[in-house]
Amino acid sequence: MKISKDVLNILKKLEKLDTYPIPSLSEISQKYNVPRSEIIRLNANENFFIPKSLLKEIAIEAINEINLNIYPENELYISLKNSISNYIQLKPEYIALGNGSDDLINLLIQIFINNKCKVLTITPTFSMYKWFTIRRGGEIIEVPLNKEDFSLNVKLFLSKISKETKICFICSPNNPTGNQFKIDEILKIIEEFPGIVVIDEAYVEYADYSLTKMVDEYENLIILRTFSKAFGLASIRLGYAISNPYIIKIINKFIPPFHLNSLSLAIALKALSRIEIFKKYIKETIIERDFLINNLKEFKNIKTFDSKTNFILIRINDNIDKIFEHILRKGIIVRNLSYENLLSNCLRVTIGTREMNEKFLSSLKEVIK
């Protein structure tokens, strides 16, 4: 039987959606004649400080303790929630688990799009808020940050509230700008926004403060956290939401059974049992961040923005596409954001190891005069 015209019209609408751009290392290797193993990925805010040997050790321990031929056991979920509870100093009933923060963003948008709402956020910011809203058939309202320093325009943000805006997302520290917003400004939004306020704290381990402990004080507050950044476990796709027990109970009603795999749960559990080791690598990342910022400030035609994350945003007063291409020819991938809102001539650079950072700086010196 042929597909009906109504269904074809739906498919044609969806055909126009963009896919998320992920660079192919094999294509870059072939195009620029750089061995794949020598390509330096400074484009995805991954963690290069935690030794592969440590992560391998954790993974082997985890796989030796789980049964791959059965569905994830409830005890694993309970154990991980208890470990996260100890880490954030809140009871387990304040925690919901997801396949990375992306999964939880999608789930929260799904809950509220069902009620025909608009989603309010800032710009520039993490693209997934818009990405999921559009795919759920919702409308995204984007409020520009202040152009000079990417700070919040609280007055403008609050002016965009309507009966249809039931949920808003604020990434703090913000991706891709790197800054953490002032706590009093965020609290003002939480206090005056009549719906759910989601604060995405994916990078908070590198920052000055967390709003985690305020979920009891503000009943409309949800915090998102992840194992992808400070724990260097991007491949296991594990994140969690923090809120008051009532909100968490609602979120859990939308999470299907056996939603997370046993290996990811067990690896996260093993990582939290070594929390002091991971805290050490967080400090090393911050030290290297300062090294990179200080060296970038020596370039007269580069503006370096302050960062409370594991990446840096820079603006280059030069031919940005030529510079990006030159860096790529050296086998170094950074994120070219120059065509996005408020980010003209901007690159986002992940904090790498000292060797990675020196290669990046060297490639910049070659192309910038």
Asked, as a colleague might, if the bond just before 176 is cis with ω within 30 of 0, I would say: yes
The single residue listed with the structure tokens 């381990």 is 205
Helix ranges (DSSP H) in the chain:
5-15, 25-32, 52-65, 74-88, 100-113, 128-135, 154-159, 183-192, 245-252, 262-272, 275-296, 320-329, 354-367
pLDDT digits (tens, 9 = 90+) for 161-175: 999 999 999 999 999
129 pLDDT tier (thresholds 50, 70, 90):
very high
52-273, what's its fold?
Answer: Aspartate Aminotransferase; domain 2 (3.40.640)
Count helices and strands (H / E) in the chain.
Answer: 13, 13
Which residues are CB-contacts of 291 (< 8 A; sequence separation ≥ 6)?
Answer: 354, 357
Please tell me the distance from the alpha carbon of residue 239 to that of residue 225, in angstroms, as a whole number.
6
Please tell me the distance from the alpha carbon of residue 226 to that of residue 309, in angstroms, as a whole number.
13
Predicted model pTM: 0.95
Closest of 331, 333, 299 to residue 315, by C-alpha: 299
Tokens (6 digits) for 159: 């002016």
Does pLDDT of 369 surpass 70?
no
15 pLDDT tier (thresholds 50, 70, 90):
confident
Bridge partners of 333, per DSSP, are 41
Q: Are 111 and 88 in contact (CB under 8 A)?
A: no
Write down the pLDDT at residue 71.
96
β pairing state of 311-316 and 346-350: antiparallel
The count of other CB atoms within 10 Å of the CB of residue 200 is 27
3.20.20.150, 3.40.50.2300, 3.90.1150.10, 2.70.210.12: which CATH number matches 20-45+276-367? 3.90.1150.10
The single residue listed with the structure tokens 């939880």 is 104
Q: State residue 222 phi and psi, 5-degree precision.
A: -125, 130
Does pLDDT of 323 surpass 70?
yes
pLDDT digits (tens, 9 = 90+) for 204-260: 999 999 999 999 999 999 999 999 999 999 999 999 999 999 999 999 999 999 999
Question: For the chain, which residues make up each domain, given as ranges?
Answer: 20-45+276-367, 52-273
